[in-house]
Amino acid sequence: MRKAFSCEERFDLPKKHVWEFAIDFQNVPLWLKEVRTIEQIGENQFEVSIHSETGGEDYLSRFRVTNIDPEKAFTIESKSGGILVKYHYNFTSLNQKCKVRLDVCCEGKNAFWAALSPFMVWMIRSSDKRILQQLKKTLQTNEAPS
């Protein structure tokens, strides 16, 4: 079973600036406040410590970066409990501004996915737009290094 979602955000910044900040994964804790730490554990593979707002505890998650098209797009893949989630970021130049589109695809084939599918759909839909909004806020409020 597969579920897909999309959202986009416009930035009053050049595409190159937004791309360089987003593709430097050490910046993730600056714009995703629930990410405590990030560590590179292999080529294009990372481990993150994420703080759970509901449980109040931290947990570890791993992701890998695939399909990097310099200054245009990249995909992040994360697999847990038989569920594969792909976050595809696409960067488009709009004169001196930028648009970022986020396409998210969730795939699962086991009973765990079938049981959690409604919750996962709700959770991902509610967080996707927030991900881009937090990136925009960080870049436009000088919280990001230039």
Tell me the pLDDT tens digit for each residue of 119-135. 766 666 666 778 899 99
Q: Is residue 98 a contact partner of residue 14, using CB atoms and an 8 Å limit?
A: yes
Q: Name the H helices within the chain.
A: 15-23, 28-31, 111-140
Domain locations along the chain: 2-23+66-140
Range with the poorest average pLDDT among 10-14, 76-80, 98-102, 133-137: 76-80
Q: What single letter denotes the amino acid at residue 65?
A: V
Rounded to two decimals, the pTM is 0.84
Q: Which residues pair with 100 in a beta bridge?
A: 9, 91
CB contact set of 26 (below 8 Å; sequence gap of 6+): 38
CB-based contact 98:92 (threshold 8 Å): yes
The CATH superfamily assigned to 2-23+66-140 is START domain (3.30.530.20)
